[in-house]
Amino acid sequence: MAGVRPSRVWAFAAYEIRRALARRKVIAMVAFIVLLDTAGYYILAASGTSFIPAQVYPYVWIAGVLIPFTLFIQFLAILIAAGAMSEEYEAGTTELLLAKPVSRTEFFAGKFLGGYLLLTILIILNATLSTIAATLTFGAQAELATLPGVVVVEVFSSALFFSVAFMLGELVRRSSLAYILSSALIVASQIVGTYLSIAYELTGNAFYASIHTYLPTTLAGSLPPEYEQSVLPSVAGRIFELLLGPGSGVPSEAVAAFLVVVYFVVAVSIALAYFSWADVSRRVG
Under the binding rule (CB under 8 A), the answer on residue 30 touching other proteins is no
Under the binding rule (CB under 8 A), the answer on residue 117 touching other proteins is no
Q: Which amino acid is at 64?
A: G
Under the binding rule (CB under 8 A), the answer on residue 102 touching other proteins is yes
Binding part of the chain for other proteins, among 18-26, 78-86, 123-131, 140-148 by CB under 8 A, reads: 18-26
CA 228/CA 1 separation, integer angstroms: 35
| Residue number, 262 or 278, with CB nearest to other proteins | 278
Vertex 67 angle, CA 32 and 133, to 5°: 60
Under the binding rule (CB under 8 A), the answer on residue 38 touching other proteins is no
CA 55/CA 52 separation, integer angstroms: 8
CA 212/CA 163 separation, integer angstroms: 20
How many residues make contact with other proteins (CB under 8 A)? 27
CA 13/CA 121 separation, integer angstroms: 13
The answer to whether the beta carbons of residues 225 and 240 sit under 8 Å apart is yes
**Min dist. Cβ of residue 86 to other proteins (A):** 14
| Residue number, 24 or 204, with CB nearest to other proteins | 24
CA atoms within 13 A on the CB side of 234: 0
Under the binding rule (CB under 8 A), the answer on residue 24 touching other proteins is no
Under the binding rule (CB under 8 A), the answer on residue 192 touching other proteins is no
Under the rule (CB under 8 A), what is the footprint of other proteins? 3, 5, 7-8, 11, 15, 18-19, 22, 91-93, 95-104, 277, 279-280, 282-283
